[in-house]
Amino acid sequence: MVWFKWLLLCLVLFSPLGIDIYLPAIPAIADSLGSSQALVQSTISLFLLMMGLGQLVAGPLADRFGRRPVAMAGIVIYLAGALLAVLSTSGWLFVLSRLIQGSAVCATSVVAFSAVRDRMDGQQSAQAYSFLNGALNIVPALAPLLGGLLAERFGWQAPFWFLALYALALLLVVWRFLPETLPAGTQVKRGIPFGRYLAMLRQGPFLAFALVNATGMGMVLTYVSLAPTVLMNQAGLSPLGFSLVFGANALWILTASLLANWVIRRFGRRACLGFALAWLLAAVLALAATTLGEAAPAWGYMLPVTLACSGFACSLGPATSMALAPFGDEAGVAAALVLCLQMAGASLIGITAVALPLAPQWALWGTIVLAALLVANSLRVAKGH
């Protein structure tokens, strides 16, 4: 089972790699394409938005045709998007390439999360989701540094050549080693099952747990989008310093995810949600305190961010597991809706937070408060689960 989880992790990595590897190259991309930096930055949220909306199509396809073919189709589309980014000659063509990659990632993500639900239940599935989401934080720790080095040495296209090669390699691995996990009793429907999506959304517990993921991811997306402004423009960090600080926080989130796994094993999923709420409340207080000071240093921003991301790491596994638990016979559709809400909701939260006429620190503070409120609500709902 260990090798199976690592293979699923490789599928999920398409998303953070597609977001983080080109962050240090954003100024160079904008200059090279004669575009505004704001347009290039917007591709982060647009990538997630396409990834979220695409789940609504990828989930039913995974239930109808199987996990393997949908995963392989997603990888091929991702490869095409990476090559289009390399060949882009304008900002809008680059945006199109990112939209294509975002639509591809929905397939690989829904297959990975559906496969966990196919093979595991209860506490075991919660631990698997925490493992996937925790190990993902190795990518934010390394991808910006790798992308920065590649872009500096070979040009801004180099990170996208890397993504293309990764897609090609994983296509061969999936074709050779990924088993078909689609259960025999899976409900198969033609077209997009809007009726089932609406029925799931009407179930209070499902929506409560799914919104925990959406607000938590929105909080993290807001941090990622605003971090260059706060850490480089305001705190004066160099691009290398930014990459190191960004990576150190990601490594800490991995540690928090391992802690979450231990808490789930020892005390259960609801207790892990309690830990998440404690982390988030500490972040709310810490960010308010440091933001009130004048010219706060980098640590004044990153300490609250670290606390908030720890809360996100502790909430994601239990919330995902509890949301999907009642839907074993239509895991693909249920996982698609959870991921749609998570990614599309996060995108909307991130876009709104960045657009608000607030200092970056206060915009982030608002998203942390929202995430804490939703986790508190999920704790109330989880009493009966």
Going by pLDDT thresholds of 50, 70 and 90, the confidence category of residue 369 is very high
Q: How far, in Å, CA of 83 to CA of 54, rounded?
A: 20
User: 187 in a domain, yes or no?
Assistant: no
Asked if 122 and 39 count as a contact pair (C-beta separation under 8 A), the reply is no
Return mean pLDDT, the chain. Answer: 82
Torsion angle, CA of 345/112/180/104, rounded to 10 degrees? Answer: 60
State the total domains in the chain.
Answer: 1
User: 301 in a domain, yes or no?
Assistant: yes
Per-residue confidence (pLDDT) for residue 188, from 0 to 100: 59
Per-residue pLDDT tens digits for 17-72: 888 888 778 888 888 898 887 788 778 878 878 887 887 788 778 877 888 889 89
- pTM, whole model, 2 decimals? 0.73
User: 51 in a domain, yes or no?
Assistant: yes
User: 74 in a domain, yes or no?
Assistant: yes
User: 186 in a domain, yes or no?
Assistant: no
Q: For residue 256, what are the domain limits?
A: 2-180+192-384
Which element (helix H / strand E) includes 22?
A: none
User: 364 in a domain, yes or no?
Assistant: yes
Least confident of 112-126, 194-208, 251-265: 112-126
User: 185 in a domain, yes or no?
Assistant: no
Per-residue confidence (pLDDT) for residue 133, from 0 to 100: 65
pLDDT(123) > 80? no
User: 218 in a domain, yes or no?
Assistant: yes
Asked if 337 and 59 count as a contact pair (C-beta separation under 8 A), the reply is yes
Least confident of 106-115, 116-125, 357-366: 116-125
The enclosing domain of 334 has a CATH number of 1.20.1250.20
**DSSP notation for 101-134:** HHHHHHHHHHHHHHHHHHH--HHHHHHHHHHHHH
Better-predicted residue by pLDDT, 205 or 63: 205
Q: How far, in Å, CA of 254 to CA of 161, rounded?
A: 27
Per-residue confidence (pLDDT) for residue 256, from 0 to 100: 84
What does the block give as tokens for 175? 């074709």
